Structure 1
Amino acid sequence: MEKDQTAAPAPDRRIALLIDADNVSHSNIAAMLAELSKYGTANIRRAYGDWGSPGLKGWRDKLHEFAIRPIQQFSYSTGKNATDIALVIDAMELLYTQKPDAFCIASSDADFTPLVMQLKANGHDVYGFGERKTPSPFVNACTTFLYLDSLEGRTAKEPSAEPAAKPKTSKKAADKPAPAAKPLTQDAKLIELLRGAVEASAWDDGWASMSAAGSTAKRQAPIDPRNYGVKNFPALFEATGAFDIVKGDNGQTYVADKRNTDRTPKPAL
């Protein structure tokens, strides 16, 4: 299967990585840095939280190992997240002082959505990492958003110093299977997005190069094939069942919408 070529490495790009340590597990930091290396170098690395809190004990061991600067933020008011405010203030200061090429916000908190929109309005890419529970406004605002459980080669979750108490669950609830993920062939929103990408990048014969279609899809939405359980865009297009995919004699892969009856049987190379 063809390698996804939609994201070319750019080691000279400077990325500011800002981590909401209250919202992201320390076990994911190595995988996040490896992923960011595809887009540039995370030469600014900061993690925000109340570092006297027992909940951040695991993070403290990772700060020196990965050269992450801890930003101490006390909770001045009960119920208020001072960490979020400190991260936003730093991001805006970095925007006008250090002037990085891109930002990365690691959090599952939708409160950062206005910050992401402001950074993008200033012409900066914003990459996001978070859990599956991350609200869609934050996910959609990012240039690219990747769920942490989708990272390949991620480190295993490290046990906490004090295991959490096992939740009480009735036998009936325990026997109930978890809801199955929606098959990609039934994901109408995804299929419509991919169809739009093919239409926007197709030539007169109705076919588009796979790399162009993938790049167009990423410009439309913060889509990453790994969030759907596949490795790359060729696999994503194929898994929906809505597209014809052929490999040309030149080694390139091409894609066309099966509903397009005006396209040629094969791409005109």
Structure 2
Amino acid sequence: MVSPRLVAKIEAEEPTLRLAVLIDADNAQAAVIEGLLAEIARFGEATVKRIYGDFTAPTSASWKKVLQKYAIKPVQQFAYTTGKNATDSTLIIDAMDLLYTRKFDGFCLITSDSDFTGLAMRLREEGLTVLGFGEKKTPEAFRNACHKFLFTEVLRPSATNEPTAQPQKAENDHPPPQSQSPAETAEVKQEFPKKFVLAALEQSSDDTGWAHLGTFGSYLTKLQPDFDSRIYGYKKLSDLVKAKTEIFITEERQAPGSTQKVLYLRAK
């Protein structure tokens, strides 16, 4: 079940959670760090930022370039034995030490490794919010162990470009525009799960069939922690439901006691 604090954050405008950000350098890409930290800022304040890995290895060169810029504390972990991942153990031990300080509302685990599934479950048992960030290859077990899981592919700069900018690359080419899209953008695109979304809408709607967008979004996350409108080409959930006119009917209503309008939707 999604933490009430996370639901409150999704619907609120300002960050409310004190977060510990723990990065597995062996299973995360430095290219997404700017988008990653911006995404984390939507949920709360990154009070602690640590990254774990062997920074003497050539594979960690890309991380060494961004650690100082983003004030991320590196935790050096040498590979003592071939085939054994000492980085995972160090990250888990640190996470438990931070947990028992009782200073944090939640943890951000940046990894594509299923070995952290048990850690995510343990943190949830303590009533803390667990946000996971990883690539599409991340096993389903870890994704579902988090309150919310976000694919790092959508955080790459090329994945957030406006679609109108893509055809410029294909001006002198004859293949369809789809073949000209950046690799990262193509990698995250999925078939829209119409059946699942309509089932979630039915469960989150009132007796008249209408659902508040925030309630609908929260229910989607409860059922599928890795649901993200950006995977389907829309920056926000509101953009997605407004664009899918063949599936949804949308209506903006005046919020009680406010001049702001809120979005409601129902199945067409």
What is the aligned partner in structure 1 of residue 173 from structure 2?
Answer: none
Cα separation, partners in 2 of 1:154 and 1:84, compared to 1, 3 Å: farther
Equivalent residue runs for 1:194-233 within 5 Å: 194-222=197-225, 223-233=227-237
Shift of 1:9: 4.1
Superposed counterparts of 1:47-62, under 5 Å: 47-62=51-66
Residue of 87, 98, 101 corresponding to 1:97: 101
Distance 1:247 1:12, change over 3 A: closer
Query: Which of residues 183, 195, 208 is equivalent to 2:191?
Result: 183
Does the residue aligned with 1:63 lie in a helix, a strand or coil?
coil
Q: Which has the larger radius of gyration?
A: 1
Shift of 1:54: 1.3
TM-score of the pair, normalised by structure 1: 0.76
Distance 1:65 1:150 in 2: 22
Q: 1:140–1:73: structure 2 CA closer, same or farther, 3 Å change rule?
A: same
- Report the 3-state secondary structure (helix = DSSP H, G, I; strand = E; otherwise coil) of the residue aligned with 1:64: coil
CA offset at residue 249 of structure 1? 5.0
Deviation at 1:234, TM superposition (A): 2.9
RMSD (Å) for aligned C-alpha atoms = 2.7
The structure richer in helix per residue is 2
CA contact (8 A) 1:15 1:103 kept: yes
Q: Deviations over 1:79-110 (max 9, x none)?
A: 01110111111111110025311100111111
Q: Give SS of 2:43's match.
A: coil
Q: Retained in 2: the 8 A contact 1:16–1:42?
A: yes
The alignment of Structure 1 onto Structure 2 pairs a total of residues equal to 229
1:253 aligns with 2:263: yes
SS of the residue corresponding to residue 204 of structure 1 reads coil
CA distance in 1, matches of 2:264, 2:46: 34
In structure 2, distance between residues paired with 1:114 and 1:154:
33
Question: Structure 1: 5+ residue runs without aligned partners?
Answer: 157-174, 259-269
User: Which amino acid is 2:60 matched to?
Assistant: L
Q: Percent identity?
A: 41
| Structure 2 counterpart of 1:134 | 138
